[in-house]
Structure 1
Amino acid sequence: MSLNQEITRHIVDEYLPGTPPEELADSYDLLRNGVVSSLQLLRLIAWLGNHYDVPFDELDVTPDDFRSVAAIVELIDRHRRSLGTSSIPVN
């Protein structure tokens, strides 16, 4: 499963139960459309950090980095590139 598919699956399972993952467009604005509230954003960040071993407390991130699946994938890819790796272990 790709990074995009894993993140989409998690968001659908946690925040849009009953929605098929293929119905969540990569560019769909999760924050503006109320899929992820501020409290849920903290839970999402914790899951991403634990699942992909990303130290968000050490990174310069903004809410825009979590606005869509595409933005989240780009954030994780940027982190991977900064480490010089193409993959981050999945827990």
Structure 2
Amino acid sequence: MTIQRDITAHIVAEYLPGTPVSELDASYDLLENGVISSLDLLRLIEWLGDRFDIPFADLEISPDDFRSVSAVEKVVRRYAGVTAPE
């Protein structure tokens, strides 16, 4: 499974149940369209951290980094496997 497909599948399962994965366009604005609330964003960040081994607590991120599946994929590709400073 590709990173984008994995992220899309998770978002659909958690926040858009009953929607086919193929219907969520990678550029669809998840925040503006109310798919992901501020609380959901925290849950998504936690899942991404666990799934892709990203220490988000040690990184500079903004809500825009999670605006769409494409934006989330860029964040994952940028930070996946980054280890937290000691």
Q: How many residues align?
A: 82
* 5+ residue gaps, structure 1: 84-91
Question: 1:28 deviation in Å?
Answer: 0.3
Gap runs ≥5 in structure 2: none
1:36-75 pair list within 5 angstroms: 36-75=36-75
**Aligned-residue CA RMSD in angstroms?**
1.2
TM-score (norm 2): 0.91
Distance apart, 1:79 and its partner CA = 1.4
Amino acid paired to 1:24 = L
**CA distance in structure 2 between the partners assigned to 1:76 and 1:15 by the alignment:** 19
- State how far apart, in whole Å, the 2-side matches of 1:57 and 1:21 are: 29
Identity value in percent:
57
Opposite residue 5 of structure 1, the aligned amino acid is R
Runs of 4+ in 1 over 6 A off after TM superposition: none
Task: Kindly state the Cα deviation for residue 20 of structure 1 after the two structures are TM-superposed.
Answer: 0.2
Summarize the alignment of residues 5-44 of structure 1 with structure 2, pairs less than 5 Å apart.
Answer: 5-44=5-44
* Alpha-carbon distance between aligned partners in 2 of 1:13 and 1:33, rounded to the nearest angstrom: 17
Q: CA deviation at 1:67?
A: 0.3
Amino acid in the other structure paired with 2:64: D
**CA deviation profile, 1:19-78 (whole Å, cap 9, x unmatched):** 000100000000000000000000000000011110001111000000000000001111
